Amino acid sequence: MPNQETGEKINFLKNQDCDVLIVGAGISGLISAREILKADPELKVIIIEGKNRVGGRTHTVELKCAGGETEKWDIGGQWVGETQIHIINLIKELDLETYDQHAGGITWMQIGSSKQKKYTIIPPVEDTRYLVDSVDVITKNLFGISAAKMSFLYFLVYVKSGGNLDDLIGSSDTGADAMKIAGGTQQISQKLCDIVGWEKIYLNQALLKLKFLDEDNGETHVEAIVQSTLDETKISKITAKRVILAIPPSECSKIRFQPSLPFDKKQLFEGFPQGHYLKFIATYEIPFWKEKGFSGGMFATGFTDNPGEAHPLNAVYDATSKTGKPALIGFAVNKTWSDVTPKVRKEAILQDLARFFGDEALRPVDYIDKDWRQEIFNGGCPTGIIPVGNMEAYARVREPWKMIHFAGTETATMWIGYMSGAVQSGRFIPQP
Amino acid sequence: MPNQETGEKINFLKNQDCDVLIVGAGISGLISAREILKADPELKVIIIEGKNRVGGRTHTVELKCAGGETEKWDIGGQWVGETQIHIINLIKELDLETYDQHAGGITWMQIGSSKQKKYTIIPPVEDTRYLVDSVDVITKNLFGISAAKMSFLYFLVYVKSGGNLDDLIGSSDTGADAMKIAGGTQQISQKLCDIVGWEKIYLNQALLKLKFLDEDNGETHVEAIVQSTLDETKISKITAKRVILAIPPSECSKIRFQPSLPFDKKQLFEGFPQGHYLKFIATYEIPFWKEKGFSGGMFATGFTDNPGEAHPLNAVYDATSKTGKPALIGFAVNKTWSDVTPKVRKEAILQDLARFFGDEALRPVDYIDKDWRQEIFNGGCPTGIIPVGNMEAYARVREPWKMIHFAGTETATMWIGYMSGAVQSGRFIPQP
């Protein structure tokens, strides 16, 4: 039965045995499935996914846009760059088309006060406060979290995994924000499902528990307790020889392991929350910002000079589609804008856009925003962050335990937190 | 049907409506139930508990001991002190008997090296390294975690909640370790169940999800999705007007809230792991340590001079029962001793006891240890700790959200983390 909303196929899960159980039908889980089946097509692979769609933190949506038409935009992961070889190779292999992120014109930068300044590049450090606020802009945009909340050591590891800070913050031509995928990034996962076989994928299935079953012959199996999210009274038991958890560390910490995870790994996962992105897309009849000489770009701390007051937007980008339909997208990271009603939030975001680009911003053709905190089986976006003081066990993040393997972009060594890291992590194939 | 192992009564949960759903049959959940029913005996109160017993982090077990007899000891929360007024009043009310912790004689103290020293009190600070290690001894004993892993701000809040550091580390006569309860602390919860009514308590029931149901008349209810831990295919749905989560913050973070918890509270709970105690009890024919002039007490960092090597024990106490049966109890906090086999662990613990008290320690009458990390619905002991950098939202720990109230010792304002805090927290009654 196809999913009414997303057009994806829904299979019904029954109690069964398999060789490999993969948890998570995002990019890394699906790459794992493809690699395992490439190595041995005879293996029985089952992929369970908690959401009603594949793609994980990539999510492509359709909006009304200029000329009375509709077009697709990404409300999740969006950009790729040249040095992200794992995702670039996959895009070629899947025959997807990329196009450049528009960057011409003046980009706004607002650091730490209500005064606004125009810059085309990140400005030089003027004073300590300015430096602190600049770092805050960077961590809010890269991780969805204020600099004060995260480990500097993790920041360094993360940046190193992508090459250098210039590439990560997208100010270079080869940077992480250089290109987009025509038609949206969720196609990556959908095309991987075509290859792997949709019959192996079970949507709306939440993993509750992993129990180790020790057998007489010395071989150990895992029993997975799985709950349907559509009918919560429906529980399935899957036994598997290997399990791949291709989900964020914060989601691993919600699963009951019997026995418990090793000490280090348990403490690491319990202190590895997701950052918090609220992403919006607004489509327009005309690209009024370009006509005024603006790139459509804006970066801000969101702070104002008035204590307790904050602007919603921390970043905005031109999001004109491959077909030339004008749009702006951006992120609200400041927590102030999380617990308000959708109506209040939309108004504040459009007002903030108008503050930079003019009142035309108040009248979009269509508008959508998504609070990734509300997305089940992520509980945040774009990536997990490690708070101050929890890096001690970090080296164990990708270490297998018994027959459980850990994938997902947080376990990558190149481009951690990006789609490219998800692809790389999915390629650490367990040896059956 | 009574629980075969604990003698407690097992009720079978059906789909139903109630006024108040209490999650967790530890001290705070049961006090909540008692207070609510005191205020209005007509309210329908349901208490669900994930474990197969009541008592939470208090757990009383029976061991063989001197003279071929058996006696009860606490493998969980154990001590109370005079200034812990909430638990002291409850003990009186429940007609339980206390007796003094034995403290006479020489107490061992080993700070940061394999050299041993004898002290009767905590020694003066000699150098910086010594100071650091002394703090480590304190945090390992109070929280089950190394000082490097926790917020100093939280440490201060915690100590203040108990009065002062002297009272917490038990070096004063009125301190937190001054008295024990004859027959064990789990009796507190069992007697509260007698008062509240066992028919209201459902063991082996795990809360998976809380969904808000908005009704037409403006009244909002919560639907709780509850899974039996004995038969995982059995799911019950309980709707409630109020919910009290009398469980640790780390357990709250495993529940799926729909919609998501408020931003601050979500991030706080995701960064509020439990400390890690492994507690042992060894019973002996004679109190050989007393005969040698030792108190039976020992405090150590567990560090040795050899990198990568650690002794298991961080604290030992005389645990002679009210009836005079000799025993030693203690804690292994160092992670090194968590992932080894029970046999290796037992041998290392007894060897470490012998290092301080003599070879008689190698031959206990009975021995038990419990890795609280393996205890479902706690995942650690004695209390939640806040790592460096996560105190921003701490003030919201006990703030209700919609009709959900948060209890448990981590939400107390007096004696946070102690049984007394659990009692106090259970008394913050929601206004129906």
Average pLDDT score over residue span B303-331: 90
pLDDT (0 to 100) of residue A10: 76
DSSP reduced 3-state for B254: coil
Contact indicator for A422, A409 with CB cutoff of 8 Å:
yes
Flag if A232 and B209 touch (Cβ within 8 Å). Answer: yes
Contacts of B330 (CB under 8 A, 6+ apart): B279, B280, B298, B313, B314, B315, B316, B317, B349, B353
| Set of chain A residues whose Cβ sits within 8 Å of the Cβ of B209 | 232
Residue B46 class from Cβ within 10 Å (0-12 exposed, 13-18 middle, 19+ buried)? buried
Question: In CATH, what class is B60-73+99-175+276-374?
Answer: alpha beta
Q: Of A390, A394, A396, A399, which to mutate for an interface test with B (greatest number of B Cβ within 10 Å)?
A: A390
Length of chain B, in residues:
432
Q: Of A212, A231, A233, which to mutate for an interface test with B (greatest number of B Cβ within 10 Å)?
A: A233
Give residue-wise pLDDT tens across range A182-205. Answer: 999 999 999 999 999 999 999 999
Q: CA-CA distance, A239 to A237, in Å (whole number)?
A: 7
List the structure tokens of A335: 């927590």
Flag if A387 and B271 touch (Cβ within 8 Å). Answer: yes
The CATH number fitting domain A60-180+276-374, selected from 3.50.50.60, 1.10.287.3510, 3.90.1170.40, 3.30.499.10? 3.50.50.60
Give residue-wise pLDDT tens across range A95-115. Answer: 999 999 988 888 888 876 656
Q: Tell me the HSE value of B285 on the side-chain side, using a 13 A CA sphere.
A: 5
Q: CA-CA distance, A402 to A374, in Å (whole number)?
A: 32
Does A209 contact B at CB distance below 8 Å?
A: yes
Average pLDDT score over residue span A282-299: 95
Of A372, A367, A371, A376, which Cα lies nearest the Cα of A340?
A371
Contact indicator for A355, A220 with CB cutoff of 8 Å:
no
Q: Rounded to a whole number, what is the distance in Å from the CA of B429 to chain A's nearest CA? A: 25
Give residue-wise pLDDT tens across range A397-428. Answer: 999 998 999 999 999 999 999 999 999 999 87
Contacts of A281 (CB under 8 A, 6+ apart): A61, A63, A73, A75, A319, A327, A328, A329, A366, A367, A368, A369
Q: Tell me the HSE value of A125 on the side-chain side, using a 13 A CA sphere.
A: 8
Looking at chain A, the domain(s) classified CATH 3.50.50.60 span 16-57+187-271+385-426, 60-180+276-374
pLDDT (0 to 100) of residue B11: 83
Lowest mean pLDDT of A213-217, A382-386, B225-229, B259-263, name the range. Answer: A213-217
Long-range CB pairs of A214-222 (<8 Å, 24+ gap) are A220/A402, A220/A403, A222/A21, A222/A402, A222/A403, A222/A404
Asked if the model's pLDDT at residue B406 lies above 90, the reply is yes
Average pLDDT score over residue span A298-310: 81
pLDDT (0 to 100) of residue B219: 66
Question: Which residues pair with residue A279 across a beta bridge?
Answer: A331, A370
List the structure tokens of A176: 């992480």
pLDDT (0 to 100) of residue B431: 45
Q: What are the two backbone dihedrals, phi and then psi, of residue A58, each rounded to the nearest 5 degrees? A: -100, 135
Contact indicator for B283, B365 with CB cutoff of 8 Å:
yes
DSSP reduced 3-state for A163: coil
Flag if B387 and A392 touch (Cβ within 8 Å). Answer: no
Does B208 contact A at CB distance below 8 Å?
A: yes
Asked if the model's pLDDT at residue A1 lies above 80, the reply is no
Does A208 contact B at CB distance below 8 Å?
A: yes
Give residue-wise pLDDT tens across range A221-258. Answer: 999 999 999 999 999 999 999 999 999 999 999 999 99
User: Residue B250 is nearest to which of A150, A270, A388, comparing CB atoms?
Assistant: A270
List the structure tokens of B173: 């006569």
Give residue-wise pLDDT tens across range A49-75. Answer: 999 999 999 999 999 999 999 999 999
**Helical axes A419-426 vs A27-39, angle rounded to 10°:** 30
Q: Rounded to a whole number, what is the distance in Å from the CA of B28 to chain A's nearest CA? A: 23
Lowest mean pLDDT of A3-7, A84-88, A371-375, B203-207, name the range. Answer: A3-7
Give residue-wise pLDDT tens across range B361-404. Answer: 999 999 999 999 999 998 889 999 998 888 888 989 999 998 99
Asked if the model's pLDDT at residue A431 lies above 60, the reply is no
H helices present in A78-200, as ranges: 85-93, 128-143, 152-161, 165-168, 186-196
- Give B 288-347 residues with CB within 8 A of chain A: 335, 338-339
| pLDDT band per the 50, 70, 90 thresholds, residue A2 | low
pLDDT (0 to 100) of residue A364: 98
pLDDT (0 to 100) of residue B343: 95
Asked if the model's pLDDT at residue A305 lies above 80, the reply is no
User: Residue B374 is nearest to which of A259, A339, A373, comparing CB atoms?
Assistant: A259
Sign of CA dihedral A148, A151, A157, A161: negative
Name the average pLDDT for chain B.
90
Give residue-wise pLDDT tens across range B80-134. Answer: 999 999 999 999 999 999 999 998 888 888 876 656 666 554 555 666 777 778 8
- Give A 229-248 residues with CB within 8 A of chain B: 232-233, 235, 237
Proportion of chain A above pLDDT 90, given as a percent: 70
Chain A: residue nearest B268 by CA? A273
The CATH number fitting domain B16-57+187-272+386-426, selected from 3.90.1150.10, 3.40.50.880, 3.50.50.60, 3.90.550.10? 3.50.50.60
Flag if B273 and A276 touch (Cβ within 8 Å). Answer: no
The residue with tokens 């403290």 is: B103
| Set of chain A residues whose Cβ sits within 8 Å of the Cβ of B208 | 208, 227, 232
Q: Rounded to a whole number, what is the distance in Å from the CA of A233 to chain B's nearest CA? A: 5
Asked if the model's pLDDT at residue A127 lies above 80, the reply is no
Neighbour count for residue B215 (Cβ, 10 Å)? 8
DSSP reduced 3-state for A231: coil
User: Residue A273 is nearest to which of B267, B335, B388, comparing CB atoms?
Assistant: B267
Question: Which residues pair with residue B109 across a beta bridge?
Answer: B117, B299
The residue with tokens 């808000």 is: B212
Q: Of B155, B211, B255, B267, which to mutate for an interface test with A (greatest number of A Cβ within 10 Å)?
A: B267
Name the average pLDDT for chain A.
90
Q: Tell me the HSE value of A323 on the side-chain side, using a 13 A CA sphere.
A: 12
CATH code of the domain made up of A16-57+187-271+385-426: 3.50.50.60
Q: Rounded to a whole number, what is the distance in Å from the CA of A338 to chain B's nearest CA? A: 7
Looking at chain B, the domain(s) classified CATH 3.90.660.10 span 60-73+99-175+276-374
Beta strands in B26-164 (DSSP E): 45-48, 60-65, 69-74, 79-80, 98-100, 106-110, 117-119
Q: CA-CA distance, B333 to B173, in Å (whole number)?
A: 25
Give residue-wise pLDDT tens across range B200-248. Answer: 999 999 999 999 987 666 667 999 999 999 999 999 999 999 999 999 9
